[in-house]
Structure 1
Amino acid sequence: MGSIHPYTTTAGKRMYRISYRAPDQSQRTKRGFRTKRDAELALAQVAIAKSRGEFIDPTAAAVTVDTMGEEWLEQRRGVLKPSSFRPLESAWRKHVQPKWGARTVGSIRHSEVQSWVSAMTGGSTTVRRAQGVLAGILDGAVHDRRLSRNVARDIALPTKTRNARRHYLAHSQVQTLADHARHPALVLFLAYTGLRWGEATALRIRHVDTLRRRVSVEENAVLVSAEVHVGTPKTHRSRSVPYPEFLALPIAQLAEGKSRDELLFGDGVDYLKLPASRNGWFTVAVRAAQDEDPTIPRVTPHDLRHTAASLAVQAGAHVKAVQRMLGHASAAMTLDVYADLFDDDLDAVATALDQAKRAASVVIPLSRERDRKA
């Protein structure tokens, strides 16, 4: 199983070390046990770990976070979309690598990670993402049998802050905004189909079914570091989304003179990029629309997606239909995201229960009266 040997430190203190063979039959030693009993327990733990196939070679934990982090990032690069990979890479460069890069994975302690997380500045998303990157790297160390457990897990994290209040435009407000926009058809299309910006601007002529008035969402064009990356939609699934009849003419005009493979919006060749938030054409249109209608809130292109959900619910669309239109993974997600849009349903439930109770209260006394007369 192994052996225990006493030794004397330079300070004259008696200590113990253990010797044993690793699963690969190489000789291993570990020093620093204060009592023979501690050494015996350590040796027993090594024997149990070997028998269970859970042995962790101490030398394997000497690899640095820097080395494992670069490998982990490359692995993520191969499976994530550019828009999802970029935030992880940024968290690694700005937060994780400067703090932990030079450390070996086996030297990191849970208390150190907790202190780092607690002291980190920035929003909750920034903190959670940085912790997630370190935890992901150490997960790899655990899977590689370099560590017995991940000390970056079970960390107290800041509570996620709620998203800013969503803005929903009314039909008249959408039209006013479109009237002042450089791309009016795109504004109307986003507000009445619920497509994400990248999904709409990636539509090609062949994706439009004019007979059924539907578009097939198969691609997504996302701007990452000033470069447009085209991939699959967010859920990696294509979907068919209807558009209202009043959009048939604007869409036909956009498609006129273009080949099947050209883009529906824009010049047909270049993807329309998300306009700048400060002085882009969409912001300019919002300001002009507000001058005409002061009730119009300050909205972003993504708020048109929220508007589409709101208008669909107002029109009586079932939550499952809204889910399919927006491309959510499940109806539960749609309800979670847009729970406020379904508040009227709760009122309807209360009203229906009240009416049912009143009807029951009328029937019961009449039946009792008939029983008494009989």
Structure 2
Amino acid sequence: MPVAGHVHKRCGCRNPQTERQLGAHCPKLTTRGHGSWYLTLDIPAGLDGARRRLRKGGFTSRRAAVRALAQLQTSGSDPQASLLTIAQWLRIWIASRVSLQPATLRNYTAHIDSYLIPHLGGIPLRDLSIRDVQHMFTTIMRRGTITRRPASATLLARLHATLRAALNAAVRENLLPDNPSRYIELPRLRRPHAVVWTSDQIAEWQRSGTRPRVAIWTAAQTATFLTAISGHRLYAVYHLITLRGLRRGEAAGLRWCDLDLDAALITINSQTQRLDGGGLAQCPPKTPTSRRTIALDRTTVTALRRHRDLQQAELALLSEDGGGYVFTTQRGRPMTPDVLTRTFGAMIHESGLPPIRLHDLRHGAASLALQAGADLKVIQDQLGHSSIVLTADTYVIVVPQVARDTAEAVARLIRKAGRRPPGSNRPRRRSGSVRKQSQTVGRRKRHQATVR
């Protein structure tokens, strides 16, 4: 369908009383050479639902303006693309992503506001080049983050993913011929290797003050932590995360209907996420394989039963029902993942243990399960991973005791082989009767050959 448009003449003269431009209503426009010609093109509604108009001016004659308007109407290209800047397109794109989970939407919005728009926002969408995008990433790598910290490869990869998704959408809308972010060179993303808090690692941390990005406790340190927090009202949630490796959002989103304590099973059906406005939302788990059923041990079942009794007593005093959530605040409201993180940090500080993140308990649960003899497939299902490679390479850390046990097993094998009598591995010599029988058969075959 043809795009509607028209041409008109206007000037910059102003009303002497109001100081407002007269525009197309100036009486001098009938005078030859006064003012210039403009075109206006009505553009269909875009992704944001808003209608736009393209205006171009400066034409010296009506004929020139009409010719330019006709070219735009028949070019087959979307004239909206010539209007949009990167900033405008990013706003339109993020507003159209209605299916994103709150945490993902929050991260995308932060990337757009803090990095993409400040570096690329003023560039027309059609004019965005590989050089522009590469320059942005190079600048971020040199200057660091908005908090003046070094930009990690993880941050760069996430920024790139956000920009690539937005520009892919622009390509699909025929607003951009190609996606220049496809050709950008970035530092290789390497997953941090988890470190076990051995005595040497603790001494180095105390000396330098530098802690590993990902760290796990030993079994003894884990036991010390659980003993130290045993009297806390939220002991059960940290016991559960420590032993079974739940994500913090999964733990916060648990409802009593998801638990079958008689069968010692928990089903993960949802997770709690914080909205930008401060509210909470119940969302699907992180991935399809995150929907899972987890078996519980007797000590965890006991901890959850005790927690249920304490919670019911608290809620009775508050005249609240807790919304059916397993873990609630002291006011009977749903627990937020951020509160779990802050409380965990305070617990570590009071326990005197070396620091780890709350998410590191998930790594620790996988590694302790391996140490206890669990199969990798069982650990994968417990954590809800889609690939056993992710479980083996990222989440399972061979703790020193397991490594020492393996080394001792190999040494025992070698020692056992070395205790065999000399020559025990050589082929046995044939007995005399067998040797004579073989010689007789040989003579018989030679005799038959001679007769033939």
Q: Given the alignment of the two structures, is residue 73 of structure 1 paired with residue 73 of structure 2, yes or no?
A: no
Structure 1 residues not aligned, in runs of 5+: 1-23, 29-55, 291-295
For residues 370 and 260 of structure 1, the distance between their equivalents in structure 2, rounded to whole angstroms, comes to 82
TM-align CA RMSD: 3.6
> Residue in 2 aligned with 1:273?
336
Which deviates more from structure 2 when the two are superposed, residues 183-192 or residues 127-136?
127-136
Give the alignment of 1:209-220 within 5 angstroms.
209-220=260-271
> Residue in 2 aligned with 1:228?
280
AA partner of residue 238 (structure 1): R
The structure 2 residue matched to 1:239, chosen from 282, 292, 301, is: 292
8 Å contact from structure 2 (residues 167, 179) kept in 1: yes
Cα distance change, pair 275–114 in 1 and its aligned pair in 2 (3 A): closer
For residues 275 and 148 of structure 1, the distance between their equivalents in structure 2, rounded to whole angstroms, comes to 42
For residues 65 and 193 of structure 1, the distance between their equivalents in structure 2, rounded to whole angstroms, comes to 45
Structure 2 residues not aligned, in runs of 5+: 1-70, 146-150, 193-212, 316-320, 436-452
For residues 169 and 181 of structure 1, the distance between their equivalents in structure 2, rounded to whole angstroms, comes to 22
Shift of 1:214: 0.8
Which deviates more from structure 2 when the two are superposed, residues 99-108 or residues 161-170?
161-170
> Residue in 2 aligned with 1:252?
305
Q: Given the alignment of the two structures, is residue 140 of structure 1 paired with residue 169 of structure 2, yes or no?
A: yes
Which deviates more from structure 2 when the two are superposed, residues 244-253 or residues 187-196?
244-253
Shift of 1:208: 1.0
AA partner of residue 125 (structure 2): V
The structure 2 residue matched to 1:168, chosen from 217, 220, 226, is: 217
Shift of 1:173: 2.0
8 Å contact from structure 2 (residues 363, 397) kept in 1: no
What SS class does the counterpart of residue 72 from structure 1 fall into?
helix
Cα distance change, pair 339–286 in 1 and its aligned pair in 2 (3 A): closer
Q: Given the alignment of the two structures, is residue 94 of structure 1 paired with residue 98 of structure 2, yes or no?
A: no
Deviation digits for residues 147-172 of structure 1, max 9, x if unmatched? 33211211011333654132224242
Cα distance change, pair 281–152 in 1 and its aligned pair in 2 (3 A): closer
AA partner of residue 368 (structure 1): P
> Residue in 2 aligned with 1:52?
none
AA partner of residue 270 (structure 1): R
The count of aligned residue pairs is: 316
> Residue in 2 aligned with 1:105?
125
Cα distance change, pair 174–371 in 1 and its aligned pair in 2 (3 A): farther
AA partner of residue 341 (structure 1): V
Considering Cα pairs closer than 8 Å and 6+ residues apart, tell me whether 1 or 2 has the greater RCO.
Answer: 1
8 Å contact from structure 1 (residues 206, 260) kept in 2: no
What SS class does the counterpart of residue 135 from structure 2 fall into?
helix
Q: Given the alignment of the two structures, is residue 208 of structure 1 paired with residue 259 of structure 2, yes or no?
A: yes
What SS class does the counterpart of residue 221 from structure 1 fall into?
strand
> Residue in 1 aligned with 2:228?
177
For residues 300 and 94 of structure 1, the distance between their equivalents in structure 2, rounded to whole angstroms, comes to 25
Shift of 1:230: 1.5
Deviation digits for residues 251-299 of structure 1, max 9, x if unmatched? 1233344879611123695222345699x44333222221xxxxx2113
8 Å contact from structure 1 (residues 65, 104) kept in 2: yes
AA partner of residue 183 (structure 1): L
Shift of 1:250: 2.4
Which deviates more from structure 2 when the two are superposed, residues 340-349 or residues 265-274?
340-349
> Residue in 2 aligned with 1:43?
none
For residues 157 and 66 of structure 1, the distance between their equivalents in structure 2, rounded to whole angstroms, comes to 23
Q: Given the alignment of the two structures, is residue 157 of structure 1 paired with residue 186 of structure 2, yes or no?
A: yes
For residues 223 and 169 of structure 1, the distance between their equivalents in structure 2, rounded to whole angstroms, comes to 32
Question: Greater CA radius of gyration, 1 or 2?
Answer: 2
AA partner of residue 129 (structure 1): R
Cα distance change, pair 274–144 in 1 and its aligned pair in 2 (3 A): closer
> Residue in 2 aligned with 1:370?
429
AA partner of residue 243 (structure 1): L
For residues 296 and 340 of structure 2, the distance between their equivalents in structure 1, rounded to whole angstroms, comes to 27
Give the alignment of 1:7-86 within 5 angstroms.
27-28=74-75, 57=77, 59=79, 61-62=81-82, 63-76=84-97, 78-86=98-106
Shift of 1:117: 1.1
For residues 94 and 228 of structure 1, the distance between their equivalents in structure 2, rounded to whole angstroms, comes to 24
Normalising by structure 2, we get a TM-score of: 0.61
8 Å contact from structure 1 (residues 275, 282) kept in 2: no
Shift of 1:371: 4.4
Cα distance change, pair 107–281 in 1 and its aligned pair in 2 (3 A): closer
8 Å contact from structure 1 (residues 262, 269) kept in 2: no
8 Å contact from structure 1 (residues 202, 219) kept in 2: yes
8 Å contact from structure 2 (residues 371, 399) kept in 1: no
> Residue in 2 aligned with 1:190?
241
AA partner of residue 103 (structure 1): I
